[in-house]
A and B are shown apart, each in its own frame.
Chain A
Amino acid sequence: MNKFSIYQYFLILVILVLGFIYALPNLYPTQPSIQVAYTDSGRSADQMLVSDLEDILNLNGISYEELSLVENKIVIKFTNLEQQLESKTVIQNKLLDKVIVALNLEPTTPDWLKNIGGKPVKLGLDLSGGVHFLLEVDIDTAQQGRLELLLDTYRKTFKEDRVKVSSSSIKELVLYFEFTDKNSYNKALQKYRADSPGINGLQYIITEKPASNILLLEYSDVALREIRDYAVGQNLMTLRNRVNELGVSEPIVQRQGANRIVVQLPGVQDPTAAKKIIGKTANLEFRLEANARTSPLRKEEFGFKGNEYTTAFLEKGVVVSGDRVTNANSGFDESGFSQVNITLDMQGGRAMQKASSANVGRKLAVLFVEQKSKSELVVNDNGDSVIEQTSYIEKEIISLATIQTTLGTAFRITGVGTPQEASELALLLRAGALAAPMKFVEERTVGPSLGKENIELGMKSILIGLTLVVLFMTFYYRVFGIAANISLLINLILITGIMSLLGATLTLPGIAGIVLTVGMAVDANVLIFARIREELKEKDPQTAIRDGFSRAFITIFDANVTTLIAALILYVIGTGPVKGFAITLSIGIVTSMFTAIMCTRAMVNLMYGNKNIKELKI
């Protein structure tokens, strides 16, 4: 009686061992390291880079513990912060902009644990410190830009086709054309209808007003969705490139909902600089080269990218800035030389047209503007060595080419060197391209000291809460209380293990969720024990134990399912930290049911099963 079969014990044991193993990575400390990746996000780190890095470090006499190729980047581990920082400086000086070097604290999880998927719990920004941004993409502006292009295209087509237009404009995102006669009106309508079919459905909503020879054109929902997806996708890519410049080790750049992008930068200490880089609109400038007539006050000298000894004088006035670039890609010209094709938006196109038509034969430069950061090891007020980042702006010429003809919205730069160089230039141009403007709609910055403080306070409250509950249970239920306490500890280990395994993020409210679970988890055991006490009045101890457990089960189940419903809803509606609370609460509910019912029962069975007990102290 009151015995588990060997399989049941075995199952419990397996779950416990697994939980313990996956919770284990959290006990290992972190180690200073750097992550090196190619600047071109399309290129993965390779063996060549590995040997380059080994040479650089050996040449400079920097010792390192381990250098390994992990996914698309290279991770180098060091024993101290000085080595970490020194290596970053020498690598960056040697390989320049070919690579991005990010400082990181790598977990020291042993290989055997890593191989089975073991990793420490991810910390939310409120615990690790860092910045969280929510950006909203302005779809209306993207749509307006498209309509302007469309207006321009149709004006040209109508002119070529001899369709007589008396007036045309864009009002409140509607394209308006008025024609002089019925014939023109009909021709235009046919043109619209022919252009409308897209891949996913009709692109246009055409409103016909034959009486006044007016045609109104709007984008259909299908087209709007395409515009939105393109704009958000393009901006997402641009943001990823910009975030890469920051050298953050584990950045998150994700689309959220229809037109928002979430950016999380753990460990970033200077949110203002981060914001500048993310929110910057012009990281490219098209400028004319200064000529003999340019006054010295109106020109500036810049170096070439990748070649610091060559310089050129450019005019101070900016013709077009990078936020006007809507697309750029590399290709080949008629004679097989590589070139870069650039598309500007309407406004940029007009400015370019104006500047280039008056200056055919002069040279046009593309200036790359970069917000860079420098890391230094400084001693803070507490006497600890910490890494401090400062930021500065660097401008370099990436291309200087002769204007052959008047340029418009679409033009090309030829003579850009190898296809590899052309694709790099296109990437740089695209990096500055935003398909639609964005604005910050939410920002949360947590300083590193607050993050650390939050962890300490959270851990402290878990410990104090746990101690109080353990003392109470021992005092109130004695032997059974001890069994419940052991279950409680197992519960904590299981929560940690599952969170690590799932890659769930721990936040401050998440810690609160664990604390709450500690308080509520004993509820299941309290229910069982109260029931056993009651059953004892009329039954012998063994039957009382059995009936107590089985009768309490249904109550425990119902009560927990409803809490789980509340937690799941919280997960759906919550953001960031609150989601963290929902996660720990949900996991806690499930694990506490397992530990309170299975583990406590197993312990009680091991203690009392098979024995002939006369009296049960509970």
Chain B
Amino acid sequence: MNTTFQFMKYRKIAGVASIILFSISILSLTFKGLSLGLDFSGGTLVEISYENPVELETIRNTLSSNGFEDSQVVNFGTNLDVLIKVADQNGNSSIGDSVYSLLNESGLQGELKRVEFVGPQVGAELRDQGGLGMLVALFMILLYVAFRFQYKFALGAVTALGHDVVIILGLFSIFAWDFDLTVLAALLAVIGYSLNDTIVVSDRIRENFRTQRIMEPNEMIDLSLNQTLGRTVVTSLTTLLVLFALFLFGGEMIKGFSLALILGVLVGTYSSIYVVANMLMSLTLIQEDLAIPEPEGADFDELP
């Protein structure tokens, strides 16, 4: 691919777009919050499979007239599978069994597919651990990139990652998609993926800064982005191919996971082009920053 897009011409527009998206996400996260899945909220979840479609209203009525007022009843995947969520009741772990036997006795016999109970304390711990893990991951990556490249790249990379994570969280908040442990796992994978992209681009920018000494920084970055564009598109495409396979055929339990990853690949690809380069431009990356080039690959054995 021999493209000559002038990416940096639109960097201001992209910057504004990113800031708007980012702000909307922050606003939604602040005022609306995430609709936390069972892992983080605590409570009980029951999945029952029926042979014939069952009116959800019937289940709701049966439950609410028997003391489970604040329960949510939804279809899960098909209209034969029903998912019932009961908010935490002081850490009572036998709600799931009670709900299932209650429905069975009320003539709504189905096959019990899954019961999950998460105590309030465990939920809170998982929340803290998840948040902490995310921060630790960002920090470690910042260190690694700063060590391997230069602090301006590291700042660019971490800004890009923060950008991706906040926007995906924002989307989950705006559309009230369930945020559970698997989505958190997907977010961490997005961090990995997005960084992959960022590093490939940064690597090329670094190489060009060292070898081609005549151009202006914005031309240099445009050249680097164009040189890596083919790879960026192909990799995003193959990854999206498998993710769509997972989203469409992987079943309901990992829908949220694949959705978060699909969004992550899209946002991550965009951010590795615009956010990183934008940051480098704003921090005015100059050749002196990379003046003492370490011999490439000196710390690794040369490949055969």
Binding site for B on A (CB under 8 A): 4-5, 8, 126, 134, 136, 271-272, 275, 439-447, 449-450, 453-454, 457-458, 460-461, 464-466, 468-469, 472-473, 476, 508-509, 511-513, 515-516, 518-520, 522-523, 526-527, 530, 533-534, 549-551, 553-555, 557-567, 569-570, 572-575, 577-578, 581-582, 585, 597, 601
Assess A569 versus B133: contact at CB under 8 Å? Given A445-B115, A519-B239. Answer: yes
Query: Are A519's CB and B181's CB within 8 A?
Result: no
| Interface residue range, chain B | 35 or more
B191 at the interface (CB under 8 A from A): yes
Q: Which of B117, B129, B249, B251 contacts A573 (CB 8 A)?
A: B129
Assess A8 versus B235: contact at CB under 8 Å? Given A562-B192, A570-B185. Answer: no
Across the A-B interface, the 6 shortest Cβ-Cβ residue pairs:
A465-B242, A563-B192, A573-B133, A440-B93, A441-B119, A519-B239
What are the interface flags for B145-165 relative to A under an 8 Å C-beta threshold, 1 for contact and 0 otherwise? 100100000000000000000
Assess A509 versus B254: contact at CB under 8 Å? Given A5-B304, A559-B195. Answer: yes
Report B-chain residues with C-beta under 8 Å of the C-beta of A557.
300
Report B-chain residues with C-beta under 8 Å of the C-beta of A551.
296
Q: Please give the distance in Å from A114's CB to the nearest CB on chain B.
A: 33
Q: How far is the CA of A570 from the CA of B193 in the complex (A)?
A: 14
Query: Are B246's CB and A465's CB within 8 A?
Result: yes
Q: Please give the distance in Å from B303's CB to the nearest CB on chain A.
A: 5
Question: Can you list 30 pairs linking A and B with CB atoms under 8 Å apart?
Answer: A4-B304, A439-B91, A439-B93, A445-B112, A446-B114, A447-B112, A465-B242, A472-B238, A513-B189, A520-B193, A522-B238, A523-B235, A526-B234, A527-B235, A554-B296, A554-B300, A558-B199, A559-B200, A563-B196, A566-B137, A566-B188, A567-B188, A567-B189, A567-B192, A569-B137, A570-B137, A573-B129, A573-B130, A573-B132, A578-B181
Report A-chain residues with C-beta under 8 Å of the C-beta of B238.
469, 472-473, 519-520, 522-523, 526
Assess A530 versus B191: contact at CB under 8 Å? Given A443-B117, A559-B199. Answer: no
Report A-chain residues with C-beta under 8 Å of the C-beta of B105.
none
Assess A468 versus B119: contact at CB under 8 Å? Given A440-B93, A520-B235, A562-B196. Answer: no
Report B-chain residues with C-beta under 8 Å of the C-beta of A559.
195-196, 199-200
Identify whether the interface residues of A are mostly helix, strand, loop, or mixed: helix
Query: Are A515's CB and B245's CB within 8 A?
Result: yes
B126 at the interface (CB under 8 A from A): yes
Query: Are A562's CB and B199's CB within 8 A?
Result: yes
Query: Are A519's CB and B257's CB within 8 A?
Result: no
Q: How far is the CA of A566 from the CA of B200 in the complex (A)?
A: 17
B15 at the interface (CB under 8 A from A): no
B122 at the interface (CB under 8 A from A): yes
Q: Smallest CB-CB separation from B258: which chain A residue?
A: A512
Q: Which of A508, A518, A561, A582 contacts B242 (CB 8 A)?
A: A518
Q: Please give the distance in Å from B53's CB to the nearest CB on chain A.
A: 18
Between A453, A461, A513, A581, the greatest number of chain B beta carbons within 10 A of the residue's beta carbon is seen for A461
Binding site for A on B (CB under 8 A): 47, 49, 91, 93-94, 96-97, 111-119, 121-122, 126, 129-130, 132-133, 136-137, 140-141, 144-145, 148, 181-182, 184-185, 188-189, 191-193, 195-196, 199-200, 203-204, 227-228, 230-231, 234-235, 237-243, 245-246, 248-251, 253-254, 257-258, 261, 296-297, 300, 302-304
Q: Smallest CB-CB separation from A521: which chain B residue?
A: B238
Report A-chain residues with C-beta under 8 Å of the C-beta of B250.
457-458, 460-461, 511-512, 515
Q: How far is the CA of A447 from the CA of B113 in the complex (A)?
A: 5
Query: Are A575's CB and B181's CB within 8 A?
Result: yes
Report A-chain residues with C-beta under 8 Å of the C-beta of B126.
575
Q: Please give the distance in Å from B134's CB to the nearest CB on chain A.
A: 8
Query: Are B119's CB and A442's CB within 8 A?
Result: yes
Query: Are B196's CB and A565's CB within 8 A?
Result: no
Report A-chain residues with C-beta under 8 Å of the C-beta of B191.
566
Report B-chain residues with C-beta under 8 Å of the C-beta of A574.
181, 185
Report B-chain residues with C-beta under 8 Å of the C-beta of A5.
304
Report A-chain residues with C-beta under 8 Å of the C-beta of B148.
558
Q: How far is the CA of A601 from the CA of B304 in the complex (A)?
A: 9
Assess A516 versus B196: contact at CB under 8 Å? Given A445-B115, A461-B246, A585-B189. Answer: no
Q: Smallest CB-CB separation from A527: which chain B residue?
A: B231
Query: Are B144's CB and A562's CB within 8 A?
Result: yes
Report B-chain residues with C-beta under 8 Å of the C-beta of A597.
303
Q: How far is the CA of A597 from the CA of B303 in the complex (A)?
A: 9
Query: Are A465's CB and B241's CB within 8 A?
Result: yes
Q: How far is the CA of A454 from the CA of B91 in the complex (A)?
A: 29
Query: Are B115's CB and A444's CB within 8 A?
Result: yes
Q: How far is the CA of A597 from the CA of B304 in the complex (A)?
A: 10
Q: Smallest CB-CB separation from A468: which chain B residue?
A: B241
Q: Please give the distance in Å from B119's CB to the nearest CB on chain A.
A: 4
Query: Are B242's CB and A468's CB within 8 A?
Result: yes
Between B111, B136, B243, B251, the greatest number of chain A beta carbons within 10 A of the residue's beta carbon is seen for B251
Assess A447 versus B245: contact at CB under 8 Å? Given A134-B122, A557-B300, A573-B130. Answer: no
Q: Please give the distance in Å from B301's CB to the nearest CB on chain A.
A: 10
Q: Please give the distance in Å from B203's CB to the nearest CB on chain A.
A: 5
